[in-house]
Amino acid sequence: MQYYSTRNHAALFSLQEAAFRGLAPDGGLFMPAVIPHADLEKVRELSECSFSELSRYLTRLFFGDELPETRTDAIAAGACRFPVPLKQVGKDKYTLELFHGPTFAFKDIGAGFMGHALRALNRTAGETIILTATSGDTGSAVANGFYGIEGVKVVILYPDGQVSGLQESQMTTLGGNIFPLKVKGTFDDCQRIVKDIFSDADFRREKRVTSANSINILRWIPQSFYYFHGWAQWVKATGGKRPGIVVPSGNYGNLAAGLLAAKMGLPVRRFIAAANANDTVPKYLRSGRFEPQPSVRTVANAMDVGNPSNFERIVDLFGNDFSAVTARIGGYSCDDQTILETIRELYDRYGYLSDPHSAVGYKAACEFGIEGFWLSTAHGAKFGEVIRTALGKEFPLPSGLHELPGKEKLFTRIGPSTSSVENFIRSL
Ligand SMILES: *Cc1c(COP(=O)(O)O)cnc(C)c1O
């Protein structure tokens, strides 16, 4: 399979190039040149067994040209080993819970897949350094996704004093091939250093560094897999045929992956892009104008994105045809007040604990009268403060997260300078 850039369909790149570059040289996002067709009978059958079995089939469809089956199977088995259940909420509502992985958020799926896939691609290429800056959640998903992967070392920069204690624990208690750097500076400093290192050609000749950015093709493609699993479970539970699917969205990788699944043949009636107050895409869906805004802070902070990168993938999948986009996708956005009320409604009416991001999905599903399901992107207990504000009480952390606070944090303190970080990487 080859990959083109959203900004130039003529130049093709190998999987290896697309994976290690992250972003295309012209600044576009990589897209598969051929979208494979999934056999829905097979999908239903494999989905009955497990998400992991289903992922094994879909991984082969995408990567079977480059990698032998033993490798694609190992990637799927390593990355997709937790359940992705469709839960019934009340009498006739359903949500697909994507948060049963190691950090209890859906980014675990893409990050885990990328980790295992890089190892498979890496066998001949030698050691790779994954370099990433984080304001919290991405770092923990990447650390967990790449933990213990041979031939890969992960260097994570995070701002001192600006990530939550739980997030810091998730990044710093693993050890092994994970090297957290606590930077005396802001998240912007961390991002600047990472950018400087990626554009330092001399250093890149010396060390093979790559990013685990969420736009990477190896993180994006596997996100299409759980849509199939959700569909199969929903069909079985309801006897329906074509669900509507609501996607809580920020950078729009998740929704773009759903559209990819639809292109592979998944029957979906309609998608709904569910946003918080950062409503660049819902506005575009109404007006046809894509006007990025500075992001605003909300209680669903993993969706605080004013200029979503994966928007390019969405319009590319529709051949830049606005009417085709609006025929398939509806837009919804709401403010913090509504998110808090919705968390309360879900809890009071159904006894269901929802995190703030997923609550936006539920609200959109209600507003649009969706017959289908919304995606739940994180476990409610991860957002203790918001939940306390909404419900007036605390909920225990899931086991796994529960044990973290007591573990020893291992990190290196470092100043906000590119050369210090480069020297640190040389010393590994
Ligand atoms: C990242 C994230 C989102 C947004 O997903 P995108 O693919 O960026 O649209 C939603 N919810 C949670 C909990 C997240 O971590």
Domain spans in the chain, listed from the N-terminal domain onward: 85-105+220-391
Q: What is the mean pLDDT of residues 400-422?
A: 86
pLDDT at 404 over 70: no
| pLDDT for the residue numbered 163 | 83
Q: Supply the CATH classification number for the domain 85-105+220-391.
A: 3.40.50.1100
pLDDT at 198 over 80: yes
Does 145 contact ligand 1 (Cβ within 6 A)?
no
- Ligand 1 centre to CA of 125 (Å) is 32
- Which residue among 103, 135, 254 has the greatest number of ligand 1 atoms within 8 angstroms of its CB, and so is best to mutate? 254
pLDDT at 39 over 90: yes
Which pTM value belongs to this model?
A: 0.93
Does 381 contact ligand 1 (Cβ within 6 A)?
no
Give the lowest-confidence range in 239-243, 272-276, 306-310: 306-310
Does 32 contact ligand 1 (Cβ within 6 A)?
no
Distance from C-alpha of 120 to C-alpha of 67, rounded to nearest angstrom: 8
| pLDDT for the residue numbered 157 | 95
Query: Residue 94: what residue type?
Result: Y
Task: Evaluate whether 303 touches 107 at the Cβ level (below 8 Å).
Answer: no
Active site residue 283: no
| pLDDT for the residue numbered 164 | 79
Structure confidence at residue 123 as a pLDDT band (50, 70, 90): low
Structure confidence at residue 90 as a pLDDT band (50, 70, 90): very high
Task: Evaluate whether 114 touches 218 at the Cβ level (below 8 Å).
Answer: yes
CA atoms within 13 A on the CB side of 224: 27
| pLDDT for the residue numbered 403 | 62
Q: What is the mean pLDDT of residues 22-28?
A: 89
Q: What is the mean pLDDT of residues 198-206?
A: 90
The dihedral of CA 277, 282, 286, 287: what is its sign? positive
- Ligand 1 centre to CA of 37 (Å) is 26
Higher pLDDT, 260 or 81: 260
Alpha helix (H) ranges present in 28-68? 40-49, 51-63
| pLDDT for the residue numbered 22 | 86
| pLDDT for the residue numbered 124 | 59
Determine the longest span between alpha carbons in the chain, in angstroms: 61
User: If DSSP codes are grouped into helix, strand and coil, which group holds residue 4?
Assistant: strand
Q: What is the mean pLDDT of residues 326-333?
A: 97
- Which residue among 29, 107, 109 has the greatest number of ligand 1 atoms within 8 angstroms of its CB, and so is best to mutate? 107
Q: What is the mean pLDDT of residues 230-244?
A: 97
Does 303 contact ligand 1 (Cβ within 6 A)?
yes
Q: What is the mean pLDDT of residues 273-293?
A: 96
The dihedral of CA 346, 348, 352, 356: what is its sign? positive
pLDDT at 377 over 80: yes
- Ligand 1 centre to CA of 369 (Å) is 23
| pLDDT for the residue numbered 113 | 96
Structure confidence at residue 140 as a pLDDT band (50, 70, 90): confident
pLDDT at 21 over 90: no
Does 105 contact ligand 1 (Cβ within 6 A)?
yes
Distance from C-alpha of 11 to C-alpha of 5, rounded to nearest angstrom: 7
User: Which residue of the set 107, 153, 182, 382 is catalytic?
Assistant: 107
Q: Whose CA is nearest to atom 15 of ligand 1?
A: 302
- Ligand 1 centre to CA of 252 (Å) is 8
Mean pLDDT of the chain: 93
Q: What is the mean pLDDT of residues 236-258?
A: 97
Does 136 contact ligand 1 (Cβ within 6 A)?
no
Q: Whose CA is nearest to atom 1 of ligand 1?
A: 302
Give the lowest-confidence range in 123-132, 245-254, 313-322: 123-132
pLDDT at 84 over 80: yes
Distance from C-alpha of 101 to C-alpha of 103, rounded to nearest angstrom: 6
* Element at 157 (helix H, strand E): strand 152-159
Distance from C-alpha of 271 to C-alpha of 227, rounded to nearest angstrom: 11
Does 137 contact ligand 1 (Cβ within 6 A)?
yes
User: If DSSP codes are grouped into helix, strand and coil, which group holds residue 89?
Assistant: strand
Does 223 contact ligand 1 (Cβ within 6 A)?
no
Structure confidence at residue 394 as a pLDDT band (50, 70, 90): confident
